[in-house]
Homo-oligomer: A and B are copies of this chain.
Amino acid sequence: MAVGGDNDVLKGVWCPALMPLDTKLDPDVSRFIDHCRWVLDEGCHGLVMFGTTGEANSFSVEERIRVLDAAIDGGLPADRMVVGTGCAALPDTVQLTRHAVERGALGILMLPPFYYKGASDEALAESYDRVIDGVGTDEFRLILYHIPGVSGVPITPELVDIIQKRHPKTLAGIKDSTGDWDHSKMLIERFSDLAVFPGAENLVADGLKVGGAGCISAGCNVNAAAIRGLYDAAMVGDDIIKRHTEVERIRQILQRYALIPAMKQMLADAKGDSGWARLRPPLMPLSEADAAALAADLDAEDFRLAA
């Protein structure tokens, strides 16, 4: 059975884990492991280590390897991890991918090289070719990471076609972080043999109906149980509207703020641990005013985070 084709494991509600930081703004591995355990306990099917939500590209290769080692050695399940590895420089992507594959990661979420803009599909396909060659094995599940609003480098459907043709055994999925339902729907329908993950929980129910994989959604860091509840309801086709509405009211609040700082602030407040609110520049904590407004918004919805 092809590795990429064997993507039934790539289903469900996946949490792109936030990365708590210490006073030096270095990754705080102990807090990180605790947080990952909690979102799994809350019902997430798996973890995405080093996504955009986890400030991945703000950390060096050495930092990323050290944290992943510590997380797995600390007991987090590698077979429930998708690891983000895409960097601007291909040797960095190769090194991170090889390491994650060696550590038994279930999948690899890979940005295209993102410094230069306007690269052709062929140029990006060549980039993926070279990474796979460099890793030295194609025995891993590759998930393409489409987040053009941040990376500036889209994964077009035509690029997916090229990669699927060249690496049918390896290509396993696409994360679509556009937040655009029409785009996610198109990908799900066009690539029905791949695991297509919308990047937000509000697309879980519609996505599952047409064959989507679930979601890889930042919101899982603060609302995992409800999002898992929505996923389960959508799988059996029951109670969907109520579950969707419950999830959506929190997502709508978060949308008013800078998302990553807002979620870190929520965790800081819930845990009474102000250190959780730290971010590495260029990301910055919420202003005091925004932090207070966020808390008030959540209070108004009677939302209590039991982190």
Residues of A within 8 A of B (CB): 25, 52, 57-63, 87-92, 95, 112-117, 119-120, 122-124, 126-127, 130, 149-153, 280-284
CA distance A276 to B24 in the complex (A): 43
Within the complex, the shortest CB–CB distance from A80 to chain B, in Å, comes to 26
- Contact, CB under 8 Å: A90 / B149: no
Closest residue to A58 on the B side, CB-wise? B89
Give the copy number.
2
The CB with the most chain B CB atoms within 10 A, among A63, A122, A284, is that of A284
- Contact, CB under 8 Å: A283 / B149: no
Closest residue to A258 on the B side, CB-wise? B118
Partner of A61, one of B60, B124, B281: B60
Within the complex, the shortest CB–CB distance from A95 to chain B, in Å, comes to 8
CA distance A151 to B113 in the complex (A): 12
- Contact, CB under 8 Å: A57 / B89: yes
CA distance A57 to B91 in the complex (A): 11
CA distance A126 to B151 in the complex (A): 21
Known interface pairs A88-B88, A152-B152; A116-B60 also in contact (CB < 8 Å): no
CA distance A152 to B152 in the complex (A): 8
Partner of A115, one of B116, B120, B130, B151: B151
Known interface pairs A149-B117, A150-B116, A151-B115; A90-B281 also in contact (CB < 8 Å): yes
Within the complex, the shortest CB–CB distance from A35 to chain B, in Å, comes to 21
CA distance A52 to B115 in the complex (A): 9
- Contact, CB under 8 Å: A282 / B58: no
Closest residue to A283 on the B side, CB-wise? B116
The CB with the most chain B CB atoms within 10 A, among A87, A119, A282, is that of A282
Within the complex, the shortest CB–CB distance from A49 to chain B, in Å, comes to 16
- Contact, CB under 8 Å: A130 / B59: no
Please name all residues of chain B whose beta carbon is closer than 8 Å to the beta carbon of A91 when the two chains form the complex: 59-60, 62-63
- Contact, CB under 8 Å: A123 / B283: yes
Within the complex, the shortest CB–CB distance from A232 to chain B, in Å, comes to 33
Within the complex, the shortest CB–CB distance from A287 to chain B, in Å, comes to 10
Known: A58-B116, A119-B283; 15 extra A-B contacts, CB below 8 A, are: A52-B115, A58-B90, A60-B95, A87-B88, A113-B281, A113-B282, A116-B282, A116-B283, A120-B284, A122-B284, A123-B282, A123-B284, A127-B282, A130-B281, A153-B282
Please name all residues of chain B whose beta carbon is closer than 8 Å to the beta carbon of A119 when the two chains form the complex: 281-284
Closest residue to A92 on the B side, CB-wise? B60
CA distance A281 to B113 in the complex (A): 8
Please name all residues of chain B whose beta carbon is closer than 8 Å to the beta carbon of A151 when the two chains form the complex: 115
